[in-house]
Chain A
Amino acid sequence: MKNLNYLFWAYTLIWIVLAGYLFSLSIRLRAISSQIRRLKSRLPGGSEG
């Protein structure tokens, strides 16, 4: 098979982009969840977690 290196780099790049986005999404979701926990704990009668 010719041009296999191009094929390799195309699919590698797709996976890097998709994995990077999923990672950033999970980081942002985790950050907002911890922010919500902090805010809830400040509410009257609120508790940690």
Chain B
Amino acid sequence: MHRGLELALFFLVAALMILSLYCVFQVVPNEVTMGAVQRIFYFHVPSAWVAFLAFFVVFVSSMLYLATRRLLWDVVANAAAELGVLFCGIVLFTGPIWARPVWGTWWTWEARLTTTLVLEMVFLAYLVLRTQAENRAQAARLSAVVGIVGFLDVPIIYYSVQIWRGHHPIVFKSSGGQGLEPIMLKTFMLCMTTFTLLFLLLLAMRIRLGLLQEWVAELKEQDSIPGA
């Protein structure tokens, strides 16, 4: 991404983030059963969405790498995996903070929670695996396989509540119990947009870093640079 575009996206994300925080804390009403603590979900759910999106990018990029062996796709997959771990980590930390006052416990081995924890661990292993490989090509090849297999957990997480009848909540319920109030829906969609753009910004920055690292590694391998 062009640096100017990256800067423009940065200011857009900053403005949207301020607007999102204003809406979450000043505009939306309290949810009827959970009260103020439900406001955690305006950032918790978009974090989960962005984590899934990141792991989808890993999945597609990994397949493209295995098909073409172009290092660019490995750089994209690695960048997205790092961001997926970051946002999945936010989900796994904010979830228990919500659960403590609502469920009375920080953690329970409920289907969605457990499968999300498994997803985080798989992609942490993905990142560790890359540092342990014998060479660059092996790191790319092995991590691509883990990235593809690891993504298969995402649909399992999505359907886990129905499959195993988990008690992960449907988080938005208006006072009349008739679904999401319009202002809550608008705020929620605003937060989803903000987090999606934040993800795109961070992905662009991380890919730029990855490409520069590849370039430096190539330069260092050249014998024409003594002592590099």
In the complex, are the beta carbons of B36 and A2 less than 8 A apart? yes
Complex Cα spacing A10 to B45, Å = 13
Residues 1 to 43 of chain A near chain B (Cβ within 8 Å): 1-4, 6-7, 9-11, 13-14, 17-18, 21-22, 25, 28-29, 32-33, 35-36, 39, 42-43
In the complex, are the beta carbons of A6 and B225 less than 8 A apart? no
In the complex, are the beta carbons of B216 and A32 less than 8 A apart? yes
B202 within 8 A of A: yes
Tell me the minimal C-beta distance from B15 to chain A in angstroms.
16
Given known contacts A25-B205, A32-B209, is B93 in contact with A42 (CB within 8 Å)? no
In the complex, are the beta carbons of B205 and A4 less than 8 A apart? no
Interface size on A, as a range, is 20 to 34
In the complex, are the beta carbons of B225 and A35 less than 8 A apart? no
Cβ contacts under 8 Å, A10 to chain B = 40, 43-44, 93-94, 97-98
Among the listed B39, B89, B202, B228, which residue makes an inter-chain contact with A25, where contact means beta carbons less than 8 Å apart? B202
Complex Cα spacing A11 to B191, Å = 13
Judged by DSSP, the binding face of B is: helix
In the complex, are the beta carbons of B86 and A39 less than 8 A apart? no
In the complex, are the beta carbons of B93 and A6 less than 8 A apart? no
Closest chain A residue to B41, Cβ basis: A10
Tell me the minimal C-beta distance from B2 to chain A in angstroms.
16
In the complex, are the beta carbons of B37 and A43 less than 8 A apart? no
Complex Cα spacing A42 to B219, Å = 11
Among the listed A2, A3, A14, A43, which residue makes an inter-chain contact with B94, where contact means beta carbons less than 8 Å apart? A14
Tell me the minimal C-beta distance from B121 to chain A in angstroms.
18
Among the listed A9, A21, A33, A35, which residue makes an inter-chain contact with B97, where contact means beta carbons less than 8 Å apart? A9
| Contact flags B201-224 to A (C-beta < 8 A → 1, else 0) | 010011011001101100110001
In the complex, are the beta carbons of A3 and B208 less than 8 A apart? no
Closest chain B residue to A42, Cβ basis: B225
Complex Cα spacing A13 to B216, Å = 34
Tell me the minimal C-beta distance from B69 to chain A in angstroms.
24
13 of the cross-chain contacts (CB-CB < 8 Å) are A3-B35, A6-B40, A7-B36, A10-B43, A10-B93, A10-B94, A13-B90, A17-B86, A25-B205, A25-B206, A32-B213, A35-B216, A36-B212
Q: Which residues of B contact A (CB under 8 A)?
A: 30, 35-37, 39-40, 43-44, 47, 86, 89-90, 93-94, 97-98, 100-101, 198, 202, 205-206, 208-209, 212-213, 215-216, 219-220, 224-228
Closest 6 CB pairs of A and B: A1-B36, A3-B37, A3-B101, A10-B97, A10-B40, A32-B212
